[in-house]
Amino acid sequence: MAQPSSDSASIKSDAIRAEASLVDEDFVREHTYVIRGQKVMLDRDLAAIYGYETRRFNEQVKNNSEKFEGDDFMFQLTGEEAQNLMSKKSTSNWGGTRKLPYAFTEQGIYMLMTVLKGDLSIKQSRALIRTFKKMKDYIIDHQSLLGEREYLKLSLSVADSFREIMELNARHRELDDKVADVVDQLGQMITKSDISQIMMDFGNEFIRYGYGLFNGHFSLGDIVYEELYETAKYSIVVVDNYISLKTLVLMAHAREGVKLTVISDNLRKGLHQLEYEDFLKDYPNRHVEFRRAMGRVHDRFMLIDYGTDAECIYHCGGSSKDAGMRATAILRLFDTEPWHGFFDELLANPTLELA
């Protein structure tokens, strides 16, 4: 049988791209999965968004493989993961002998925006960025609606569906206190011993999924950064070689008028000019000054009101872009004077140009 010519394949791909509709929140919700503790979208769904055949879509990714190194950007599902996903989501099969699908994290999807070209790709990329932001804002705005009854249900189902529970509670400011309150108030309905094993299991998993340790207390990683940024009166400086759009979104919790600065070499090109421009459209009063780290920084630091009487300097175990996904610790440095010369030099470095 004659094989289709490259011209006919190109025409077919163009037709698919022409038919692709603008991505919306319903599509993202329906096609987002939790695999290996991360929210991901599959290659075939992203291909549909951008108007590609899945095979051609993966060719584009393969041609830019250096941009997707690491499981925090993309990974291929195992046979067991694919089968489990199909059984849980009633997903149709992938054609029997078809290659196992690839999963893209949020960082991986942002990286795709730098790979896929054309008018449709630009429109879809902007729509995805706005959709991600809208979904995150909704969770923040409605986090207080989870009441005691919901917490009891969540606690009692931890053993069978812990990851689903963590998704529902992922941004609650006082999760541990709320759970404790529920246990105390249910004395006449259920004894602590009845759920002690579940609470023990819950505690054993507590640190694994996106929590931070700050001032001796555990809290959700995102919340730690947001609350620290909210304390700034004059300025915030983030020193981190690995940044992304999320780095900026967290900094946007600072009060209006607070100067925002990022010092970074932007390794892996995690943040792009397109993302920054869209960030400014959503946060027009949150301009960020970017300085190069010049290869002089290994650890991460956060400088609040640097050089003022209110100065606080923190050493951060992980990047803020990973807040809410990985456990980390944030420690305040009290003897800050020896650091001033170093940070002054970093702040005088050349401007960082985003790709």
- Predicted confidence band of residue 126 (pLDDT cuts 50, 70, 90): confident
From 143, 144, 112, select the one nearest 129 (Cα to Cα).
Answer: 112
* Contact predicate 59/52, CB 8 Å: no
Q: Is the pLDDT of residue 249 over 70?
A: yes
Answer for the pair 128, 110: CB distance below 8 angstroms, yes or no: no
- For residues 190 and 230, state if they share a domain: no
pTM: 0.47
Regarding whether 130 and 16 lie in a shared domain, the answer is yes
Name residue, tokens 């993966």.
58
pLDDT in tens, 257-282: 999 999 999 998 889 998 899 889 88
Residue 87 lies in a domain: yes
Q: pLDDT at position 181, please? A: 57
- Do both 44 and 168 map to the same domain? no
What mean pLDDT do residues 72-81 have?
A: 91
Alpha carbons 43 and 22: distance in angstroms, whole number: 17
Do residues 165 and 134 share a domain?
no
Which pLDDT tens digit goes with each residue over 14-44?
444 444 567 788 888 888 898 988 889 999 9
Residue 39 lies in a domain: yes
- Between CA 10 and CA 125 the distance in angstroms is 22
For residues 290-298, average pLDDT:
95
Number of compact structural domains in the chain: 3
Does one domain contain both 94 and 108?
yes
Read off the pLDDT band of 169 (50, 70, 90). very low
Q: Give domain status of residue 96, yes or no.
A: yes
CATH of the domain at 299: 3.30.870.10
Q: Does residue 195 share a domain with residue 131?
A: no
pLDDT digits (tens, 9 = 90+) for 190-236: 444 444 444 444 444 443 344 555 554 555 667 788 889 999 999 99
Domain presence at residue 104: yes
Domain boundary among 85, 120, 140: 140
Domain of residue 195, residue span: 143-208
Same domain, 134 and 149: no
Eight-state DSSP code of residue 320: G
Across 131-146, average pLDDT: 61
